[in-house]
Amino acid sequence: MNRPLVLMTVLYGLGVFLASHFRLYGDHLFLSAGAALIVASIAYFAARKAAPVLILALFTALGVAVTGLTVDRTEAPLGAWENTAVILEGMVVRDADVRPDRVVYILAVHEVRKGNEVMHPDGRVVVSHRETDAVYGYGDLLRVRGVLRTPVSPGNPGEFDYRAYLERQGVAFKMDVFGPGAIERIGVDRGHYPVYLALTAKERLSAGLERALEPDAAALVRGITMGVRGGIAPETREAFTVTGVVHILSVSGLHVGFLVGLVLFFTRLGRLNPRWTLVVVLAVLAFYAVMVGFKPSVIRASVMALLLLAAHQMGRLRDWPTALALAAMVILLGNPLSLYDPGFQLSFTATWGILYLGPVIVRGLDKLAAGWRLSWWSPAAGWFLAVPLAAQLGTLPLIAYYYNLISPVSLLANVVTVPLVGLIFVLGFITALLGAFLPAAAWLTGPATGVLIDLFLALVKFFAGLKGAYYYVPTPSLLLVGSWYLACWGLGFFAGPTPWRERWPGAAALVGGSGRRTLGMLGVGFFLVFAFLIWPTEPTGRNHIEVHFLDVGQGDCTLIRTGTGAAVLIDAGGWRGELAGESGAGEKVVVPYLRRLGVREINVLVITHPHDDHAGGVRAVAEKLKVLNVVVAPDGGREEPNPAYRTLIEELKQSDIPIIQVWAGDRLQVDRQTVLKVLAPAFPLLSGTRSDLNNNSVVLRLDHGARSFLFAGDVEQEAQARLTLGQDVRADVLKVPHHGSGVFVPDFFQAVKPSVAVITVGRANPFGHPHPRTLEALRELGAEVYRTDLDGAVIIRTDGNFLKIETGREREDLKPAA
């Protein structure tokens, strides 16, 4: 109760969290909020002693109500025309997100038409426009023709939830449109004039940077000053990520600090009255927040900076927990769903780490320096090291949870590069201003900015190239994340500046011993938590195996994990153009999925046949993970593989990865307990069929105890008929061939007699997969059918007797596609 605002914010956040479990709709929200207000009012006047508790409980109810209203406002009433072709008119409410292959807009909807029906709803829609050269800005009124859809929830456990991401921005529907005629500009509405000015200024500054700097340097300066990542090369972004300095490209408290410092420098230089200084700082921070898009980290840093300046001016004590709570309350009142935003969580845990653990680290460093008799050491030097270290302690488990990454080099990288970033931030803004308004004078700062960018980029790439600079780790459990923060709290409590025995006398008898012993125990605790974070996970029990059928869209990818930790990957998915080198399923789906599980090494990677949707993701897997062996089908048949597939195989050979061709009758020994039997292709290879490449797929059988799995590639009628001749193909689990196409032999399904059939297929694919005849044939055999387009990833665990099946998506939550 000493910090009521902290308690109110925590309880409000609890209400936001509970709203996802106890969803209220429409009038019920107002009724519940009104009832809570009435109870609190009665308690205040009739039961004064209980009033504080009941009033605080009101904040929990408020969190539930505001969250429910936010979600309702996002979803209704456009849902009535979901999966329907419509003509939509609306205003662009943010600057366009320009990407190499598309431009993304967020529109505030004014009108929606379907035939003769017209609707005037409130709401927002994200529009992704491909194949266009035109880019529209804030205030442009657009007419868009396309199909209104709800983003699909992620199919693979732990995958980025684009649907939830859009919901946090007040968007529930999307439209993907193609061609220049799909979007038409019908007018201009400046909307909120301050927003128009801020975003116009952002466009002018971006254009100024492009005039003054080389394209790569301009892209980086835009990222550092305005948080715009478009134009930054993927390999550069990855170097920033793995070295722990990616926050430099996402506008955060660091950037707000630079900006406040710059403003204070000029106000003090002009000897401005302190009260007017506060007004100027407020105006600049508000303008900057609008310009970069009201990111939670910017709002948090701005609120705390203003409170700090106001407290300094009034001579009041600066209470950082209250300031931090107020910043959180401001953000969550505006958008309660920000609670689930990784940026929100990372910003507040980093700040908490600096303010709570920073003094402990400085104190420890001061004692260490005194013990080593370092006369030159000062508290300022301690804070120089403590700030990045404390921030990392505060964010480490969340970074491992969301990004599966731990970067031991991050501390050194931040210590070295952050001072350089301050110079780039200041010079970058000056260069942008000169380039925008006085292009002829941009030479005054442009070359210096370019040199600093080159030096900065060289340092980042140097740190990224160090051995052991970063590790990908399995996703830690929420219990482990909570334990980490409990340990951090304990470290600050027991080793803080104020003796903990004075703050908590009752605990002294429980802990006992010296302070050194307590700190030693905490140190051991930190080490154990860190060890758990980086330790690779394995299936439960050495006699267990896991088979993961990944959701990679229209393609195949299956992971087998054995009880000893060995991993077999059968195909790696593939999207259009991926086999030729474009980014796709391998980089965006398969590799992240493997990293979340803690898979660092692939014992056997099987390419069942050389089609894009099976082999396209192999390159990314081989580049990002260690692959020990690659198994392929023999060459043959009349149908020639894509030349890009030949290039892929040559690249694998150049990487010294053994390429093994297999025939029916071969056996792949994965570990002592796991053997894969090759059932196809048999000699001679099939030739002149509807698809020789499909029919000569590698077909594998895995037996584990009394259970068996059959992975049938894309074999069609000829190969299916051949498989049933003279060999046992019975299996409990069948990976249905060729995505459940209608080209099948009924005798093949009858010979396999699966109790579980898994169809790897893309949602709303143009091939009509799976075919209704295939589904009917499987169900007539009594097979339980799972589909990755509906169920997401299908994960089957077995100890050799029982099958346990999990799916990545709740099927009832997915509405049918048009």
DSSP state letters, 461-483: HHHHHSTTS-EE-PPPPHHHHHH
Three-class SS of 660-679:
EECCCCCEEECCCCCEEEEE
pLDDT value at residue 39 = 62
In this structure, the answer to whether residues 720 and 798 fall within a common structural domain is: yes
Query: Which residue from 176, 191, 180 is spatially nearest to 110, judged by alpha carbons?
Result: 191
Q: Is the peptide bond before 770 cis (omega within 30 degrees of 0)?
A: yes
Cα(292)–Cα(343) distance, integer angstroms? 14
- Binning pLDDT at 50, 70 and 90, where does residue 646 land? very high
Cα(582)–Cα(400) distance, integer angstroms? 27
In a domain, 262, yes or no: yes
Three-class secondary structure of residue 546 per DSSP: strand
Q: Report how far Cα 92 is from the mean position of its chain's Cα atoms.
A: 25
In this structure, the answer to whether residues 578 and 513 fall within a common structural domain is: no
pLDDT value at residue 249 = 81
Please state the domain count of the chain. Answer: 5
Q: Which pTM does this prediction carry?
A: 0.86
CATH number, domain at 667?
A: 3.60.15.10
Residue 281 · residue 260 · CB < 8 Å: yes
pLDDT value at residue 516 = 47
Cα(337)–Cα(68) distance, integer angstroms? 10
Cα(542)–Cα(560) distance, integer angstroms? 14
Cα(643)–Cα(646) distance, integer angstroms? 5
Cα(216)–Cα(226) distance, integer angstroms? 15
Residue 431 · residue 211 · CB < 8 Å: no
- Range ranked top by mean pLDDT from 47-61, 221-235, 252-266, 419-433: 419-433
Whether the pLDDT of residue 73 is over 80: the answer is no
The helix, strand and coil proportions of the chain, stated in percent and rounded to the nearest 5, come to 50, 15, 30
- Binning pLDDT at 50, 70 and 90, where does residue 248 land? confident
**Burial per residue of 49-85, b for 16 or more beta-carbon CB atoms within 10 angstroms, e otherwise:** eebeebbbbbbbbbbbbbbbbbbeebeeebeebbeee
- Could you say which of 421, 439, 472 is where a domain stops? 472
Mean pLDDT (whole number) for 701-720: 94
Residue 102 · residue 128 · CB < 8 Å: yes
What is the residue range of 59's domain?
Answer: 4-75
Cα(606)–Cα(598) distance, integer angstroms? 20
pLDDT value at residue 127 = 93
CATH number, domain at 184?
A: 2.40.50.140
- Binning pLDDT at 50, 70 and 90, where does residue 778 land? very high
Residue 644 · residue 598 · CB < 8 Å: no
Whether the pLDDT of residue 604 is over 70: the answer is yes
- % pLDDT > 90, the chain: 42
In this structure, the answer to whether residues 635 and 730 fall within a common structural domain is: yes
- Range ranked top by mean pLDDT from 246-250, 314-318, 455-459: 455-459
In this structure, the answer to whether residues 564 and 631 fall within a common structural domain is: yes
Please tell me what DSSP assigns to residue 299.
Answer: H
In this structure, the answer to whether residues 748 and 803 fall within a common structural domain is: yes
pLDDT value at residue 559 = 98
pLDDT value at residue 376 = 83
In this structure, the answer to whether residues 605 and 642 fall within a common structural domain is: yes
In this structure, the answer to whether residues 158 and 42 fall within a common structural domain is: no
Three-class secondary structure of residue 146 per DSSP: strand
432: left (phi > 0), else alpha (psi -120 to 50), else beta?
Answer: alpha
492: left (phi > 0), else alpha (psi -120 to 50), else beta?
Answer: alpha
Cα(446)–Cα(454) distance, integer angstroms? 12
- Could you say which of 40, 75, 110 is where a domain stops? 75
pLDDT value at residue 48 = 56
Three-class secondary structure of residue 102 per DSSP: strand
pLDDT value at residue 793 = 96
In a domain, 604, yes or no: yes
In this structure, the answer to whether residues 516 and 605 fall within a common structural domain is: no
Please tell me what DSSP assigns to residue 585.
Answer: H
> Phi first, then psi: what are they for 155, rounded to 5°?
-90, -25
In a domain, 266, yes or no: yes
Whether the pLDDT of residue 523 is over 80: the answer is no
In a domain, 148, yes or no: yes
In a domain, 10, yes or no: yes
- Binning pLDDT at 50, 70 and 90, where does residue 526 land? low
Whether the pLDDT of residue 47 is over 70: the answer is no
Vertex 543: Cα angle to 538 and 549 (nearest 5): 60
Which amino acid is residue 480, in one-letter code? Answer: L
In a domain, 375, yes or no: no
- Range ranked top by mean pLDDT from 336-340, 373-377, 533-537, 549-553: 549-553
Cα(653)–Cα(656) distance, integer angstroms? 5
pLDDT value at residue 456 = 93
- % pLDDT > 70, the chain: 87
In this structure, the answer to whether residues 66 and 85 fall within a common structural domain is: no
Mean pLDDT (whole number) for 777-782: 94
Cα(782)–Cα(350) distance, integer angstroms? 54
Question: pLDDT per residue over 253-268, tens digit each?
Answer: 888 888 888 888 888 8
Higher pLDDT, 113 or 493: 113
In a domain, 181, yes or no: yes
Question: pLDDT per residue over 388-415, tens digit each?
Answer: 899 999 999 999 999 999 999 999 999 9
Residue 117 · residue 130 · CB < 8 Å: no
pLDDT value at residue 562 = 92
pLDDT value at residue 25 = 53
Query: Which residue from 346, 386, 592 is spatially nearest to 481, judged by alpha carbons?
Result: 346
pLDDT value at residue 7 = 87
In a domain, 377, yes or no: no
Whether the pLDDT of residue 460 is over 90: the answer is yes
Mean pLDDT (whole number) for 564-573: 94
pLDDT value at residue 815 = 40
Question: pLDDT per residue over 356-378, tens digit each?
Answer: 998 888 888 888 888 888 888 88
pLDDT value at residue 594 = 96
In this structure, the answer to whether residues 655 and 577 fall within a common structural domain is: yes
Cα(818)–Cα(815) distance, integer angstroms? 9
> Where is average pLDDT lowest: 182-186, 489-493, 628-632, 727-731?
489-493
pLDDT value at residue 97 = 84
Higher pLDDT, 513 or 638: 638
pLDDT value at residue 292 = 86
Q: What is the length of the chain?
A: 818
Q: Provide CB contacts within 8 A for 489, sequence distance 6+.
A: 356
Higher pLDDT, 309 or 737: 737
In this structure, the answer to whether residues 103 and 212 fall within a common structural domain is: no
Whether the pLDDT of residue 630 is over 90: the answer is yes
Which amino acid is residue 199, in one-letter code? Answer: L
Rg (CA), the chain: 30
The H or E element spanning position 109 is: strand 102-114
In this structure, the answer to whether residues 202 and 311 fall within a common structural domain is: yes
Mean pLDDT (whole number) for 637-648: 86
- Could you say which of 75, 104, 129 is where a domain stops? 75
Q: How far is CA 344 from CA 386, 569, 669, in A?
A: 22, 36, 47
Cα(183)–Cα(173) distance, integer angstroms? 17
